Amino acid sequence: MNSPDEDQILDAISRWLERDVRPQVKELEHADRYPESMVATMKEFGLFGATIPREYGGLGLPAGTYSKIVTRISEVWMSLTGIFNSHLIMASAVTRFGTEAQKEAFLPRFASGELRGGLALTEPDCGTDLQAIRTRAVRDGDDYVINGTKTWISNGIHGSCFALLVKTDLEAEPRHRGMSLFLAEKGPGFTVSRKLEKIGYKGIDSAELIFDNYRVPASSLIGEAEGRGFHHALGGLELGRINVAARGVGVANAALKDSVRYAQLRKTFGKPICEHQAIQLKLGEMATRCEAARLLVENAARIYDAGERCDMEAGMAKYFASEAALENSTEAMRIHGAYGYSTELDVERYYRDAPLMCIGEGTNEMQRIIIARQLVARNPA
């Protein structure tokens, strides 16, 4: 059961989605235009501080409530959730691992949306294997000088600050001990080289970032100790995977709802197609996927909120919910027939958006490996 505060937040967001977002989605989506006015409203709602503690100006929402917000928004336009998801992973790294000075300096500005950004991990030759990054930071007095390239960075164009994963020790073994995480605000030496075009996930910018003798103060090293960046980055990905899983639930739900509605309107052979067994089989499977995915997300969020390790549970939720979105969007297209393949309806957008969730925040192949390893570790013979 939702708390009164949670119900109030969800109701306000639902009203905004139906009044201001749904009528504009097609235009913004097809133009691939950044939703400036919607971002301003999300700032007013406090979504850029959704999971940031109240003492630093955030809403202090538990992951359980946050995931419901993400699901609700994703049912209407998934792209909006990406604008604050990566941002909140960056904030989570500061909350969990930053010094008190870093928390006081950055978290209030993150919460208000004054500073927005995300996580800069991926490189042109490095995605899942984060230990293979090449971007390097070298200490120079009170600063570090950073050189390298990051790619597929959400909010790269419109964001202003990023949690930047770099190598500070090239000789460290194992490799992850030579990695560090910095808070990097845009400035001299930090440029956006290009916007990366995508088949889906429109509206939010994905960009390539270039660091050319970019200087960042040593005080911006999260935790002010080198060699812990890999751990700091992975810690934030638990929340990120819960977010992606919640997105999957939202898209799967949207595909189901549109299909149930259309199946009652469309008639063949003298009756609505919802009365044909072939369609009923599809709808039954789609509904079951939605419910199973939702429960997996709730479980992962509950464990995260309890402060316990949840990489296995978050991986399960992310893996299943993203596959549910992919399968439901495909079935929705089949149920809608030619209309599902047209740009007139929302089904084609679900079909383009869903694959991203099987790739982002760690591929689903990697999620299954994480799940298996944790099963073995938690159940020694």
Residues of the chain with CATH 1.20.140.10: 231-378
DSSP labels, 127-193: SS-GGG---EEEEETTEEEEEEEEEEEETTTT--EEEEEEES-TT-SSGGGGEEEEEEES-TTEEEE
Find, among 263, 255, 260, the residue nearest to 326 by Cα.
255
Say what the pLDDT of residue 127 is: 67
Strand partners, 181: 165
How far apart CA 330 and CA 348 sit, in angstroms, is: 9
Fold of 117-228: Butyryl-CoA Dehydrogenase, subunit A; domain 2 (2.40.110)
SS3 362: coil
Strand partners, 185: 161
Say whether domain 4-112 belongs to CATH 1.10.10.60. Answer: no
- 311-336 and 229-265 helices, crossing angle to 10°: 30
pTM across the whole model: 0.94
Residues of the chain with CATH 1.10.540.10: 4-112
Say what the pLDDT of residue 4 is: 64
Fold of 231-378: Butyryl-CoA Dehydrogenase, subunit A; domain 3 (1.20.140)
Q: Torsions phi, psi of 380, nearest 5?
A: -65, 145
Q: Which residues contact 307 (CB under 8 A, 6 or more apart)?
A: none
Per-residue pLDDT of the chain (381 residues; tens, 9 = 90+): 566 688 899 999 999 999 999 999 999 999 999 999 999 999 999 999 999 999 999 999 999 999 999 999 999 999 999 999 999 999 999 999 999 999 999 999 999 999 999 999 999 987 677 778 899 999 999 999 999 999 999 999 999 999 999 999 998 888 888 999 999 999 999 999 999 999 999 999 999 999 999 999 999 999 888 999 998 888 778 888 999 999 999 999 999 999 999 999 999 999 999 999 999 999 999 999 999 999 999 999 999 999 999 999 999 999 999 999 999 999 999 999 999 999 999 999 999 999 999 998 889 999 999 999 999 999 998
166, 233, 245 from 299: Cα distances, Å: 33, 22, 11
Pairing relation of β-strands 206-217 and 143-154? antiparallel
Residues of the chain with CATH 2.40.110.10: 117-228
92, 163, 371 from 131: Cα distances, Å: 21, 16, 20
How far apart CA 372 and CA 376 sit, in angstroms, is: 6
How far apart CA 148 and CA 130 sit, in angstroms, is: 14
Active centre residues (catalytic): 361
How far apart CA 358 and CA 328 sit, in angstroms, is: 13
Say what the pLDDT of residue 313 is: 96
